[in-house]
Structure 1
Amino acid sequence: MATRESRPGVDSRAARKAFDGAESSIDAVDSDNWRADAEEVVLMLAASGQVFDAERVRAAGVREPAAPNQWGALFASLRKAGYIEPIGTTTSGRRQRHAGLNRLWIGTEFVTGDAE
């Protein structure tokens, strides 16, 4: 039986180095810290009255979460808490999204007209 190191055409040292690098980059993204950082930026954007989407939050310096579905959970929970409301959609400008839809958000005080 062939071992992993003895398979022809596979540079086991390079493969191990790539795997170790991927593992450490996953560890570097702490989902609790990501959530706090992202929530802070979303709440600032909501308070400003600007229309925004996830791309705008990224542009403000929030890094990618450990799992992409964390973006949806973030926006859903802030909507449920009453901080933001959806007001439309736009197409994504990111290559990875292939012009997929992004929801547009605004702070709730600007939807209800309570802003001064």
Structure 2
Amino acid sequence: MTTLQHPAEDAYMAEATILSEWQPHADRIIKQLAATGRPFTSDDVRRAIPHGVTPHTPNAYGGLFQAWKRLGLIRPIGYALSTHPARHGGVIRQWVGTTH
């Protein structure tokens, strides 16, 4: 059986292949957030990434979360309103780390 990859994962994977500075920071931060056992969102990841370090496309954030979900390391637990200015208060998922 073939598992289809979420389209945003392509943007996340591209960051690794182009040797982006963003991808290692994003992975380290999401790992730290998942280990806390507390809910977190993409806004938390954005705030923790060093100033000026951005992915080549904002879709990489969605791909980051989809990839970690696919690996079973995080799971969705609800929704929140984004505080990131570019999101204009849009709805975003809340996540929590799993016990894997």
Aligned to 1:90: 80
Aligned to 2:26: 38
Give the TM-score normalised by the residue count of structure 1.
Answer: 0.63
Distance in 2 of aligned mates of 1:52 and 1:97: 16
Could you say which structure has the greater relative contact order, defined with CA pairs below 8 angstroms and 6 or more residues apart? 2
Structure 1 stretches of 4+ with a deviation exceeding 4 A read none
The Cα offsets for residues 19-66 of structure 1, whole Å up to 9 and x where unpaired, read as xxxxxxxxxxx6633111101100111011121001111222353311
Gaps of 5+ in 2: 1-17
The Cα offsets for residues 88-115 of structure 1, whole Å up to 9 and x where unpaired, read as 1101122321211111010012xxxx8x
Distance in 2 of aligned mates of 1:98 and 1:31: 30
Higher helix share: 1
Aligned to 1:56: 44
Amino acid at match of 1:75: F
State the Cα RMSD in Å: 1.8
In 2 relative to 1, CA 108–64 (structure 1 residues): closer, same or farther, beyond 3 Å?
Answer: same
